[in-house]
Chains A and B, each alone.
Chain A
Amino acid sequence: MTGPVTEEEMPVGLAPTVDIDSAWWWQALDAGRFMLPRCRECCRHFFPPISSCPHCGAQDIEHVSASDEGSVYSWIVVHIPQHPVFDGTPPYTILAVDLAEGPRIFGRLLRGGPVQPGAAVRLLPYRVQEHALIGFELLSDVAAADRS
């Protein structure tokens, strides 16, 4: 079961405060392309986008398309969100995901569960107003559901 996030699945959220270093990354995500910065010197991907490579310090950075796969590094289940926009929403899960390319990123768990450490996930962006935000679906659970 894949495909875009349905109306019922779409969580509430806030608009990101985009800056000059991150504008290209958000614009790509809004346009349906998941990209990462990569260093032309050491050829490693990194996140978040900044003007130099956090692995080697080089300033020659390119923007490349990334896969939509990763695995769960850690997770939290939020019961008290600490922001009025999320008040009254049921508990939700935020994943820390290690992407196949290496960098770590946060995203809302939108489909599947329960969460296990190391579980495979696939990117599933969702929209808040006109902004795309990072979401994920758990693949192991999807596979199990497909078999049943």
Chain B
Amino acid sequence: MSSVKLSFAGTTAITGVGYTAFSKNSGRTVTSLAIEACRNAINDAGLRASDVDGIVSFSWAGDSVNGQAVATGLALPGLNYALDMSLGGQAPSFAVMHAAMAVASGMATHVLVYRALNGRSGQRVGSTQPNSPTTQYRIPMGFIAFPQVLAMWARRYMVETGATERDLAAVVLQQREYAVRNERAITKRPLSLDDYLAAPWVVEPFRTVDCTSEVDGACAVLVTSLERARDLAVPPAVIDGGAWATGQGSGLDPSDQLSWPDYSRNCQSMLAPRLWASSTLGPREVDFAEIYDCFSAVVLMGLEGLLLVDRGEAGDFVRRGETKPTGRLPVNTHGGLLCEGYLHGMNTVAEAVMQVQGRAGERQLARHESCVVSSGALMDGSAMVLRVDK
């Protein structure tokens, strides 16, 4: 193991976690949400704002504010590292790794990573028509928004692996069960298979309940060296390994799938070999998984892409209950983006950290020493392995 040597793997950690409330209409600016989540993460770690000297963030089509706005609002004395990425769900793990690289290289000491948006009351990614070079080949005919883009992948995945709507249903039903134990979750009404099958279509093969819930809110984590993290207020979640990757033909813009050969294998399949080569753990050794889930089918593709189960076995794995709290590999313990809300996967990372730290309250897993967390569902994406301090 660890044939890919990363300077930050095993030497950096995530410490504090901060959230705002998640809502359908925050009535606040994105700047205000970002500052609150970041302040909460700093306080959670037992640090002062003046300890922070780096900020990493990401936004989609200009839906957020940059790190320097947050630094200004927090009255930081200055910054030694700042990065604002124009990315969506592929970014959260990548953003944390940028922070970890800044720490491991010595450029910065304590680095905030956040995602903030009014994703429901403001600019909604689910119905946004991006102005990019390849939308001319789909929008005129009515192939417009992300639910449709991801549905095209889901259909091909189902054709190739034999996955059925019962497999998609199993993902949705189980994540609803987790969401009941999550006070933050926007969608927590328990769902039966009959309820699932009766839900209206958005774009086949997705029903309304297969789609994430857009929310207003913010979420932040604080990254520092493992050595420093050991002295802070919460246990370190050690960054044990990580990867960002894509393959050839990743497209002319972030929603261009025309040049991607295989819609049944996304970025998680591309990054998995490097991810596990960078980690001290293997794919069948982690205790749980937090898998990016803008749509239900992405969980199945992630389970297989990350090599957590064999190709074509994800649906059966979920239907057997293996991803429940008592199963072999609990998955999306906060209810996922489907139920907790669409913070573009920053909250997926935060949940992974809270579970590893043993602070997930009512939904805390019994086995939580290590996990894999993924970010992204299309051509490019990222993932990390997190673990307790040994």
Contacts and interface: CB of A to CB of B under 8 A. Distances in A.
Interface of A: 11-19, 21-22, 46-48, 50, 54, 73-83, 85-86, 89, 91-92, 94, 96, 103-108, 117, 128, 131, 133-135
A104 B259 CA distance: 7
A83 B140 CA distance: 10
B127 interface: yes
A96 B137 CA distance: 11
B73 interface: no
A17 to B, nearest CB: 5
Contacts of A14: 139-140
B129 interface: yes
B200 interface: yes
A74 B153 contact: yes
28 contacts: A11-B141, A13-B142, A48-B137, A54-B249, A73-B156, A74-B152, A74-B153, A74-B156, A76-B148, A77-B203, A79-B200, A79-B204, A80-B201, A82-B147, A83-B139, A85-B142, A86-B144, A89-B142, A91-B201, A92-B142, A94-B141, A94-B143, A106-B137, A106-B258, A107-B141, A108-B142, A131-B140, A134-B137
Nearest to A118: B159
B85 interface: no
Contact of A48 (B127, B258, B263): B258
B129 to A, nearest CB: 7
**Top 9 A-B pairs ranked by shortest CB distance?**
A77-B204, A74-B156, A82-B145, A79-B201, A16-B136, A76-B151, A14-B140, A117-B159, A82-B127
A79 B204 CA distance: 8
Contacts of B152: 74-76, 94, 96
Contact of B148 (A15, A82, A107): A82
Interface residues of B, number: 37
A47 B258 contact: yes
B127 A128 contact: no
Contacts of A18: 136
B201 A105 contact: no
B135 interface: yes
Nearest to A96: B152
A32 B131 CA distance: 27
Contacts of B189: none
B34 to A, nearest CB: 27
A83 B142 contact: yes
Nearest to A73: B156
Nearest to B160: A117
Given A16-B136, A46-B259, A133-B140, 12 more contacts: A19-B136, A54-B249, A76-B203, A76-B204, A79-B202, A79-B203, A79-B204, A82-B127, A82-B145, A85-B142, A94-B141, A108-B142
A48 B255 CA distance: 13
A104 B261 CA distance: 9
A85 B135 CA distance: 16
Interface string B183-222: 0000000000000000011111100000000000000000
Contact of A94 (B127, B148, B153, B201): B148
A83 B133 CA distance: 19
Contacts of A81: 142, 144
B155 interface: yes
B140 A13 contact: yes
B310 to A, nearest CB: 22
A148 to B, nearest CB: 27
A15 B145 CA distance: 16
A77 B153 contact: no
B123 interface: no
Nearest to B208: A80
B61 interface: no
Contacts of B129: 82-83
B134 interface: yes
A12 B200 CA distance: 23
Contacts of B249: 54
Contact of B155 (A54, A76, A89): A76
